[in-house]
Structure 1
Amino acid sequence: MIYVVIVFLWVALLLYIIMGGADFGAGIIELFTTGKRLNISRARHIMYKAIGPIWEANHMWLIIAIVILFVGFPNVYATMSTYMHIPLLVMLMGIIARGTALTFRNYDAVTDNMQVVYNKIFVYSSFITPLFLGIIAGSTVSGHIDPHATNFMDAYVYSWLNLFSVAIGLFTVSLCGFLAAIFLIGETADAVEHENFVRKAKIMNIAAVAAGLLVFIAAIEEHIPLADWVFGNFVGLAAVIAATISLIALWYLIAKGKKYIIRVLAGFQITMILLTTTYKHYPNIILFKDGSHLSLIENQGAEKAIQSLGMALLVGSVFILPALFYLIWSFQRKPEQADQDMHGY
């Protein structure tokens, strides 16, 4: 049953990166959108319509991942929440601020200067949240967490404030923007808007490549064996090749106007990236500065807890997944004019 729990943990993280990434990416796209090329009010409406189904449910995957760690791997949970408490707090504050700003700017009965404040909170928290999500992810495998630290800075700041972790954060931000742009391409029939979202996707694709190079440079500088994790095994190498081929196919299909399959390909690329970066050091989830590590297998909770957790996840998925598909389906069927009236665009 432990392997069922680990698979659910990995899938929950993957779905949060894909769905949450597209959600956060909408704000990132808005942050770098001006009225020169695209009507900003119209762009906001398109983005809200696109993220509506996943905005309602994407944090469910983060909650599932946290519950799995808390119940199934308490030592891992305690370690992460201790050494990563600062970036975790910033990330959670970003999630709260973003959701609050999105709600108030869409449903506030009074249209005044506060809309400007809501917009700024929304776009900047959309950038900050995935940035710190990536920083946390990078920190767990960077080897900067020092279990023998004797001062606050070494224990709770330098464990995450380093070039590699920040580079992973920027890479995560660019991936979120890319995912959102891909989702938005299929949400408009207007040729000008379509072209501008394609342009955004290209920019975010370039940003992701640049951030990815920065990640490898940082890994070399800080003696992190990232190249071995990615290219030193068959699974990692095959995932890189598959991601590259799918990226080429994605841009070909964009040119052909295929709006649904490109979303699948974008999600597939994220899957390959996560597989590449987690396969080699599995089941080790946290790598420490002294060379030790925390393993999901060696640090699992009590057997009865794992059994109960695994059964709860299996049974819960029977209800959660159909409900999620129905949520997305129901949002897609919403009439355009009614959608505009509801959200005030």
Structure 2
Amino acid sequence: MLAETPIVFALVGVAAYTVLAGADFGAGVWTLVPGGGRASRAATQDHARHAMGPVWEANHVWLIFVLVVCWTAYPVAFASIASTLVVPLFLAAVGIILRGTAYALRGTLDAQPGRRAIDDVFALSSVLTPFALGAVAGAIASDRVPVGNAAGDLVTSWLNPTSILVGTLAVAVSAYLAAVYLSADARRMGEPDLEHDFRVRALASGVVTGALAVAGLFVLRADARPLWDGLTGGLGLLMVAVSAVAGLATFFLVGRDRFEASRASAALAVAALVAGWAVAQRPRLLTGLTVEQAAAGRSTLIAIVVSVAVGAVLLVPSLLLLFRLFLRGRLDFGGERGAPAEPVAPVAITARGSGPPAMVALGLLVAGVVLTVVVGSGWALAVGVLCLCGTAVMGALLAVSGEEDDDRAPGGSEPLSR
């Protein structure tokens, strides 16, 4: 179990990156084709960028997290992947850099020719990056990455039917998630034309994504038979079914203008796909290499588990608070887009973050460290991992419990500071 714990962490990171950063990439995709709706081209592009503003850099935390966990816990597998798939990984890195640069520069260029070029770079890199990362996933899933330094083909390892399918599906999923999220943002900001346009885009991209997913099963049957077998039986089939049901639920919710609920169902559909891939490939990590064989030493794995748990106490509450503020409009610009923001009253911090919940979180942290590091075997290891995960959950609850609710009744607990 210890050898598989870091891969679970990595898969959680992959799912989070796909759902969160994927939506950001999708927003960039919609800036490439912004016309054809009620809202103007400029309004559509501005809405997509505005929605990304407070969170786009934070989403890359998950990519860094996945890379660090993988190269520390599974060094041989990481070296094999990085060397054989150096081309798509390089393309993804270039896309991330160009995209970030274009996003930062766009607001400083007033000249129309220069701004249009920046817009094009931003949009194209938003397509390139998810495609390249999807191609990497497709190469691993189709067993085209053998163990060894650049042991696989540098071209066909990622330019093959499965990789092209997964890369294309990654772009489609990103556009789909972005359209769903941007519909909800448009409603929250009181933009009916943008809400209508992105609702239509969400429905259309949902149909395209679903069709690609169904067609992709036949590609997997012909090109990646072990993955096909894993996805069409047992727990893998269950994950595919969960993803399909969640996708249909999202389509229904968007059609009924239930955008907030559709956020969660869309994220579930994507996360279930990631889980299905993991289940279908288990216990194989690369060709001829299982997760157990690829894992680092016991002391390294224990250090990773403890580090992730302790880090989650800081990271997860911070990200939850960021997204909560963003989704409640506390980070929106005031007035016209691009205008200076109206002053926002500081968030009240109450005393609810102390007392028994804090003691429970501390107790779980101590118990988790003792059980994983000191005892570290059998049931103790399993319980220790659960305690450390519980610490992260309690930390998240403590972080967001201090935020003052918008509908909080007068006469509530007094804030400690303002």
TM-score, reference length from structure 1: 0.90
Alpha-carbon distance in structure 1 between the residues aligned to 2:27 and 2:308 = 30
Which letter does structure 1 place at the counterpart of 2:252?
Answer: Y
Pairing of 1:172-321 with structure 2 (within 5 A): 172-188=170-186, 189-233=190-234, 235-286=235-286, 288=287, 292=288, 294-321=289-316
Cα deviation, residue 146, structure 1: 5.1
Structure 2 partner of 1:104:
105
Structure 2 partner of 1:45:
46
Alpha-carbon distance in structure 1 between the residues aligned to 2:96 and 2:175 = 16
Cα deviation, residue 285, structure 1: 2.1
Q: Does 1:128 align with 2:125?
A: no
Cα deviation, residue 109, structure 1: 5.4
Which letter does structure 2 place at the counterpart of 1:241?
Answer: A
Secondary structure, counterpart of 2:285 in structure 1 = strand
Secondary structure, counterpart of 1:55 in structure 2 = coil
Secondary structure, counterpart of 1:285 in structure 2 = strand
Deviations 1:255-289 (A, max 9, x none): 33222111000000011111112102213222x3x
Structure 2 partner of 1:161:
159
**Percent identity of equivalent pairs:** 25
Q: Does 1:330 align with 2:359?
A: no
Alpha-carbon distance in structure 1 between the residues aligned to 2:148 and 2:334 = 60
Deviations 1:62-100 (A, max 9, x none): 001100111111001100011000110001000000011
Cα deviation, residue 323, structure 1: 0.7
Which letter does structure 2 place at the counterpart of 1:87?
Answer: P
Alpha-carbon distance in structure 2 between the residues aligned to 1:32 and 1:44 = 9
Alpha-carbon distance in structure 1 between the residues aligned to 2:332 and 2:197 = 24
Q: Is the 8 A contact 2:27 2:48 kept in 1?
A: yes
Moved more, 223-232 or 114-123: 223-232
Cα distance, 1:295–1:146 mapped onto 2, change above 3 Å: closer
Which letter does structure 1 place at the counterpart of 2:330?
Answer: R
Q: Is the 8 A contact 1:2 1:310 kept in 2?
A: no
Cα distance, 1:96–1:327 mapped onto 2, change above 3 Å: same
Cα distance, 1:112–1:250 mapped onto 2, change above 3 Å: closer
Structure (1 or 2) with the larger CA radius of gyration: 2
Deviations 1:123-181 (A, max 9, x none): 000001000111000001212335699xx996211111111110110011100100000
Cα deviation, residue 7, structure 1: 2.0
- Count, aligned residues: 334
- Any gaps of 5 or more consecutive residues in structure 1? none
Which letter does structure 1 place at the counterpart of 2:52?
Answer: I
The alignment yields a C-alpha RMSD, in angstroms, of 2.3
Q: Is the 8 A contact 1:216 1:226 kept in 2?
A: no
TM-score, reference length from structure 2: 0.75
Alpha-carbon distance in structure 2 between the residues aligned to 1:155 and 1:246 = 37
Cα deviation, residue 302, structure 1: 2.1
Alpha-carbon distance in structure 2 between the residues aligned to 1:60 and 1:79 = 23
Deviations 1:302-337 (A, max 9, x none): 222211111110000000011112222333313442
Which letter does structure 1 place at the counterpart of 2:295?
Answer: Q
Taking CA–CA contacts closer than 8 Å with sequence separation of 6 or more, which of the two structures ends up with the larger relative contact order?
1
Secondary structure, counterpart of 1:337 in structure 2 = coil
Deviations 1:87-124 (A, max 9, x none): 10001000000011011002x15434211111000000
Secondary structure, counterpart of 1:156 in structure 2 = coil
Cα distance, 1:302–1:197 mapped onto 2, change above 3 Å: same
Which letter does structure 1 place at the counterpart of 2:56?
Answer: W
- Any gaps of 5 or more consecutive residues in structure 2? 342-418
Structure 1 partner of 2:91:
90
Cα distance, 1:314–1:154 mapped onto 2, change above 3 Å: closer
Q: Is the 8 A contact 2:79 2:148 kept in 1?
A: no
Structure 1 partner of 2:401:
none
Deviations 1:222-243 (A, max 9, x none): 252333221211x222222222
Ranges of 4+ aligned residues in structure 1 off by more than 6 Å: none
Moved more, 47-56 or 180-189: 47-56
Secondary structure, counterpart of 1:54 in structure 2 = coil
Structure 2 partner of 1:138:
138
Which letter does structure 1 place at the counterpart of 2:292?
Answer: I
Q: Is the 8 A contact 2:162 2:224 kept in 1?
A: no
Alpha-carbon distance in structure 2 between the residues aligned to 1:196 and 1:112 = 25
Secondary structure, counterpart of 1:333 in structure 2 = coil
Cα distance, 1:342–1:283 mapped onto 2, change above 3 Å: farther
Alpha-carbon distance in structure 1 between the residues aligned to 2:54 and 2:9 = 22
Cα deviation, residue 196, structure 1: 1.1
Q: Is the 8 A contact 1:147 1:155 kept in 2?
A: no
